[in-house]
Structure 1
């Protein structure tokens, strides 16, 4: 990739910024509020949502500063490489995050359930049949039904299609076809929004019709933790792509200088891959 600006400094050193400190304060408020919320303390929910709202404001201004620095020609190829490494390590940390939950799921299904269902444990758990998604001994977990494949299959098609539309948008940007890029990127965001709508409907269906809740044993807890965190990542990815779309409409990015677009695209493709894992491991069982 050629340099964005031949007159850019060898390596740009940003000026002092208040955003990292403010971001830390907002995250502290968010997590303190969430901790209070799950412990049924009245102010917890409000503090958590206020912290999230304030953090979004911080991110808007923080990334706005970075975009302004880039568009003013202060970044060189060295900064571009730094951003690529940073985004790569960030996505790697997300891989490890989901690996922990997938690990818990595999351990429960492959180790704990067969172990508790063997003959040596029939005295302790006589009614336990070791069926994943089944109900344990009486009085432990309320009866529930497992998820079906209809909505997850639709969501799989939506996310895979969004990956295709995002790739088309990227190729259009490289070809300097801005209008085409904007159209296909908007379509990608729309597909993500439809995905989240279906997931919200799936959660309502699980609670009201299947009696499947976060408290429904290890099946319910792993299901909602994995799909819930994935849904959160889809939402964040859609927000990232929306910011990129806004910048495209303002004339930002060039065919040879658009890592802001590429970084968001990497994240979106990562979310797609995680969903494929969820679809085959969580739903096909």
Structure 2
């Protein structure tokens, strides 16, 4: 049994609660502890000789199912009198362009194009800008978690995606600071695929939370 996975899942739960309730100190504590868990987990997996892509794709499938359940919840509790967390054509739209742009730069890095580290750096910068943008959106929103069940569902969905972006940024920073000789192509592929998942699931989050 890998205790690092159990540790990370417990700490991640606390971080997610901090994101949903927007408690910055709890979020910061969770981020630090999750980072420790990621390093612990990677130190174990790097010594393994066998890699199973099926496990990664099952993980992605489980994430899709979690988001799908939240999407259904948002749509189910949606009322004609409910107002959106933000206007779809303002900060959320800009955030969509940032994430789609980061997907392009991540693809350039993945394809080993020239200046690949520069592309990776731009991917990280775009991700950080998205995080900052979401922070502004949280602060400027006229509704909160306790406004209604619908708004609670929307904030939970956004916060879950927010946490995935943070984890993706940690992994991308790992690729940036470690040389290709230190990180095998297998792990590089997994990180980029995970980032693409984070980017494209946002399109569904954007559609369900801000448009429908």
**Structure-2 change in CA distance of 1:63 and 1:151 (3 Å):** same
Q: How does 1:109-124 map to 2 (within 5 A)?
A: 109=78, 113=79
- Cα distance in 2 for residues equivalent to 1:270 and 1:263: 11
> What corresponds to 1:204 in structure 2?
139
Q: Give ranges in structure 1 of 5+ residues lacking alignment.
A: 1-16, 39-44, 114-130, 135-144
1:58 and 2:37 are equivalent in the alignment:
yes
Alignment length (residue pairs):
206
- Cα distance in 2 for residues equivalent to 1:273 and 1:34: 20
Question: Does the 8 Å contact 1:29/1:48 carry over to 2?
Answer: no
Report Cα offsets for 1:32-57 as digits up to 9, x if no partner.
8988xx9xxxxxx9899767644432
**Structure-2 change in CA distance of 1:247 and 1:224 (3 Å):** same
Residue of structure 2 aligned with 1:157, choices 70, 88, 97:
97
Question: Does the 8 Å contact 1:27/1:52 carry over to 2?
Answer: no
Q: Give ranges in structure 2 of 5+ residues lacking alignment.
A: none
Query: TM-score, normalized by length of structure 2?
Result: 0.83
More helix by share: 2
> What corresponds to 2:74 in structure 1?
105
Query: TM-score, normalized by length of structure 1?
Result: 0.63
**Structure-2 change in CA distance of 1:54 and 1:275 (3 Å):** closer
Structure 1 runs of 4+ off > 2 angstroms? 20-35, 45-56, 64-67, 250-253
Question: Does the 8 Å contact 1:162/1:187 carry over to 2?
Answer: yes
Question: Does the 8 Å contact 2:4/2:37 carry over to 1?
Answer: yes
Q: How does 1:222-261 map to 2 (within 5 A)?
A: 222-248=153-179, 251-253=181-183, 258-261=185-188
> What corresponds to 2:82 in structure 1?
133
- Cα distance in 1 for residues equivalent to 2:164 and 2:105: 19
- Cα distance in 1 for residues equivalent to 2:68 and 2:135: 24
CA RMSD of superposed structures (Å):
3.0
Residue of structure 1 aligned with 2:149, choices 199, 218, 229:
218
**Structure-2 change in CA distance of 1:226 and 1:159 (3 Å):** same
What is the Cα deviation at residue 274 of structure 1? 1.2
Report Cα offsets for 1:71-111 as digits up to 9, x if no partner.
xxxx3xxx24x1x11111111110011011001112223xx
Q: Which has the higher contact order (CA 8 A, sep 6+)?
A: 2
Larger Rg: 1
